[in-house]
A and B are shown apart, each in its own frame.
Chain A
Amino acid sequence: MKKTFIAVCLTCLFSAFPVSAKLFDIAEYTLSNGARLLVVENHKAPIAKHMVWYRVGAVDEKPGKGGAAHLLEHLMFRGTKNVPGSELNRIMQVNGIDGNAFTSRDYTAYHQSLDISRLELAMALEADRMHNLDFSDEAFAAERDIVFQERKQVVENQPLSSFSEALQQNLWQTHPYARPVTGTEEEILNLTKEDVMDIYRRYYVPANAVIVISGDIEAKTAYRLAEKYYGAVPAGEKVALKSFPVLNPTAKSHLQMQLPRVELPRVVRRYIVDSYNTGADNIYALSVLSAYLGEGDTSELYKELVVKRKKALAVSSSYDYASRSYGTFSLSAVPARGISAEELQIALDEAVANALDDLDGKKVEKIKNKMLAGLVYLKDNPFDAAYIVGSLYAIGMTKEDIENYADNIRAVTAEDVKKAAFRLLNGSAFAEGTVKPLGRGGENE
Chain B
Amino acid sequence: MNKKQAFGAIMLTAAIVAAVLYFRPSFNAEELVKNSELGGRTFSRPVQEIVSPRYGIRAYLLEDDSNPIISLSFSFAAAGSRAEEKGQAGLAGLTAALLPEAAGDLKSSEFKEKMENYAISIGYSADKDDLSGHLLTVKEYAPVAFGMLKDTLTAPRVDRADLKRLKKQMLALLESQSENPGQQLSLTAGRELFGTHPYGANPLGIKEDIENLSGKDVKKYAKLHLGRSNLIVGIAGDMTATEATAMLDDVFGALPAEGAVDDTVVVKPDLSGGFSYHNAELPQNMAYAAAEGTRRDAADFYPLYIANYILGGSGLSSRLNLAAREKEGLTYGIYTGLSVLDKTALIVGGFSATPENFSRVVEIFGREWKLMGEKGVSARELEEAKNYLIASNNLRFADITNISNMLVYMQKENIGIDFLQKRNQYVARVTLEQVNRAAARYFRPENLKIISLGKFN
Could you list which residues of chain A lie within 8 angstroms of chain B, going by C-beta atoms?
9-10, 13, 15-16, 43-47, 77, 81-83, 86-87, 89-98, 113-121, 124-125, 128, 141-147, 149-150, 152-154, 156-160, 216-217, 221, 260-264, 296-298, 303, 306-307, 310, 313-314, 334, 336-337, 366, 369-370, 373-374, 376-377, 379-384
Contacts and interface: CB of A to CB of B under 8 A. Distances in A.
B322 interface: yes
A119 B384 contact: no
A117 B112 contact: no
B273 interface: no
A298 B32 contact: no
Which 3 pairs across A and B sit closest by C-beta, in order of nearness?
A96-B391, A145-B329, A96-B392
A161 B391 CA distance: 37
A74 B229 CA distance: 51
Given A10-B117, A117-B40, A373-B118, A157 B395 contact: no
B352 interface: yes
B304 to A, nearest CB: 19
A47 B172 contact: no
A265 B317 CA distance: 41
Contact of A47 (B352, B354, B398): B398
B138 A376 contact: yes
A377 B136 contact: yes
B389 interface: yes
B67 A98 contact: no
Given A149-B330, A298-B116, A91 B29 contact: yes
Given A93-B315, A261-B179, A373-B119, A82 B26 contact: yes
Interface in B378-403: 384, 387-395, 397-400
B363 to A, nearest CB: 16
Contacts, number: 227
B3 interface: no
B169 interface: yes
A297 B394 CA distance: 36
Contacts of A379: 67
A383 B397 CA distance: 11
B38 A86 contact: no
A377 B136 CA distance: 9
B384 A160 contact: no
A65 B181 CA distance: 30
Interface string B130-172: 0000001010110010000000000000000100010011001
B113 interface: yes
A426 to B, nearest CB: 30
A328 to B, nearest CB: 23
B53 interface: no
B202 interface: no
30 contacts: A15-B140, A44-B66, A77-B316, A93-B314, A93-B317, A94-B29, A95-B388, A95-B391, A114-B392, A115-B392, A117-B36, A118-B33, A118-B391, A120-B38, A143-B329, A147-B332, A149-B329, A152-B352, A153-B284, A156-B284, A157-B286, A261-B181, A261-B281, A263-B178, A264-B175, A313-B168, A313-B169, A370-B116, A376-B138, A377-B136
B395 A16 contact: no
A368 to B, nearest CB: 11
Contacts of A144: 329
A119 B35 CA distance: 12
B68 interface: yes
B236 to A, nearest CB: 10
Nearest to A381: B399
A160 B176 CA distance: 11
A-side binding surface: helix, strand, loop or mixed?
A: helix
Q: Which one of A149, A260, A262, A307 has the greatest number of beta carbons of chain B within 10 Å?
A: A149
A316 B33 CA distance: 47
Nearest to B184: A261
Contacts of A297: 108-109, 112
Given A96-B388, A373-B118, A157 B314 contact: no
Given A142-B329, A297-B112, A306-B165, A263 B67 contact: no
Contacts of A89: 315-317
B325 interface: yes
Contacts of B181: 157-158, 261
B172 A334 contact: yes
A158 B180 contact: yes
Nearest to B170: A313
A380 B354 CA distance: 41
A65 B167 CA distance: 47
Contact of A96 (B40, B66, B390): B390
Contacts of B172: 264, 313-314, 334
Interface string B117-130: 11100000000000
B210 to A, nearest CB: 13
B300 interface: no
Interface of B: 26-27, 29, 32-33, 36-43, 64, 66-69, 108-109, 112-113, 116-119, 136, 138, 140-141, 144, 161, 165, 168-169, 172, 175-176, 178-181, 281-284, 286, 314-317, 322, 325-332, 352-354, 357, 384, 387-395, 397-400
Given A46-B394, A121-B36, 15 more contacts: A44-B66, A77-B316, A89-B317, A93-B384, A95-B29, A113-B398, A115-B395, A120-B36, A262-B179, A264-B175, A313-B168, A370-B117, A377-B136, A379-B67, A380-B67
Contacts of B325: 142, 146
Contacts of A264: 172, 175-176, 179
B23 to A, nearest CB: 12
B115 to A, nearest CB: 9
Nearest to B174: A263
B284 A152 contact: yes
Find the residue from A116, A141, A157 having the highest chain B CB count within 10 A.
A157
Q: Which of B39, B108, B136 has the most CB of A within 10 A?
A: B39
Nearest to A117: B39
Contact of B393 (A96, A150, A377, A382): A96
A326 B456 CA distance: 45
Contacts of B112: 296-298
Contacts of A306: 165
A290 to B, nearest CB: 15
A377 B176 CA distance: 32
A89 B315 CA distance: 9
A348 to B, nearest CB: 17
Contacts of B32: 120-121, 124
A156 B38 CA distance: 45
A30 B27 CA distance: 26
A406 B172 CA distance: 37
Given A96-B388, A149-B354, A263-B179, A86 B326 contact: yes
Contacts of B144: 9
A263 B331 CA distance: 27
A1 B420 CA distance: 45
Contacts of A113: 395, 398
A45 B394 contact: yes
Given A94-B388, A376-B119, A382-B398, A157 B43 contact: no
Contacts of B179: 158-160, 261-264
A117 B41 contact: yes
Contacts of B326: 86, 142
Nearest to B119: A373
Nearest to A337: B168
B178 A261 contact: yes
A375 to B, nearest CB: 8
A282 B256 CA distance: 54
Contacts of B41: 46, 116-117, 216
B171 to A, nearest CB: 8
A66 B169 CA distance: 38
Interface centre among A16, A87, A116 (most CB of B within 10 A): A16
Interface centre among A47, A91, A98, A217 (most CB of B within 10 A): A47
B399 A314 contact: no
Contacts of A43: 66
B284 A149 contact: yes
